[in-house]
């Protein structure tokens, strides 16, 4: 493995992990909608 292929592998890993996180966030927003945000604010105040 040369430096180019190693860099490409790292970029690929970072891209895949970022994609996974984005998908999880989108799924969370779709499933829970805008409900959890006010709940978190109430928890902080209380």
SS3 of the chain: helix, strand, coil, percent, to 5: 85, 0, 15
Between 12 and 46, the higher pLDDT residue: 12
pTM: 0.49
Q: Is the pLDDT of residue 15 over 90?
A: yes
Per-chain mean pLDDT for the chain = 81
Q: Where in the chain are the domains?
A: 3-45
Asked if the model's pLDDT at residue 28 lies above 60, the reply is: yes
The percentage of residues in the chain with a pLDDT greater than 70, rounded to a whole number, is: 67
Radius of gyration of the chain (CA): 18
Q: Is the pLDDT of residue 8 over 60?
A: yes
Total residue length of the chain: 46
């Amino acid at each position: 493995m040369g430096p180019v292929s190693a860099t490409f592998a790292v970029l690929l890993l970072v891209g895949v992990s970022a994609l996974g996180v984005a998908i999880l966030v989108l799924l969370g927003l779709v499933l829970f909608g805008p409900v959890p945000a006010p709940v978190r604010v109430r928890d902080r105040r209380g």
